[in-house]
Amino acid sequence: MGKFELMALPYAIDALEPVISKQTLEFHHGKHLAGYVNNLNGLLEGSPLAGLPLEEIVCKAEGGMLNNAGQILNHNMYFGQFTGEPTKSAPAGQLADAIERDFGSFEAFKEAFQKAGATLFGSGWVWLSSDKDGKLLITQETNAANPVQKGLKPLLTFDVWEHAYYLDYQNRRPDHLAALWQIVDWSVIEKRYE
């Protein structure tokens, strides 16, 4: 009936340890994301935005509806981009070529991405996105904002809200950001770029 549902994790609840602990996932996915889903479903009842796709709601909504819809979209992309299985440590194909073109090297991209995440004041997200011409950009988005609001195609995101890392890393946000590369499923990011 147009109701959004809590996404199922594509891996076991403890599969991302030690980078992201089972306890963090239980709170982050099972409480925070579940709360956003429940809140949005309540806010959409009787709204002209009810029945629209999530990305469209994010681009049209304001206030609490935007906050909850944005957090669902952001978290769905975030949780969907990780893997607990051994995976390649860098992208390949078109995405690898674009990173080389737009950042000089994969290492330079990682450094710039981590710096953007570490220096975002307060709560939010750091994103790798592409524009309509396929050019890659790193953006800092505060609170529940998403690059789709700027006409960009979001590809990769690291959550820098404290609830994403505080149980495992306390106030060491840069350490958390550096560790996340170990669990990125580059095949997912490559498909998003296609």
Q: What is the pLDDT of residues 14-66, one digit of tens each?
A: 999 999 999 999 989 988 999 999 999 999 998 999 989 999 999 999 999 99
- State yes or no: pLDDT of 166 exceeds 80: no
8 Å CB contact between 49 and 64: no
Average pLDDT over residues 6-21: 95
Q: Over 80: is that where the pLDDT of 79 sits?
A: yes
d(CA 84, CA 145): 27
The CA distances from residue 3 to 17, 55, 116, in Å, are: 32, 14, 34
Residues 168-186, mean pLDDT to the nearest whole number: 90
- The pLDDT assigned to 2 comes to 56
Residue 173 confidence class, pLDDT cut points 50, 70, 90: confident
1 vs 23, more confident? 23
Question: Across the chain, where does the E strand assignment appear?
Answer: 124-130, 136-142, 153-159
Best CA proximity match to 14, nearest among 191, 158, 192, 183: 183
User: Any binding-site annotation on 32?
Assistant: no
Whether 163 has a binding-site annotation, put simply, is yes
Can you list the domains of the chain with their CATH numbers? 22-80 (1.10.287.990), 93-193 (3.55.40.20)
Q: What average pLDDT does this structure show over 139-148? A: 95
Write down the mean pLDDT value for the chain. 93
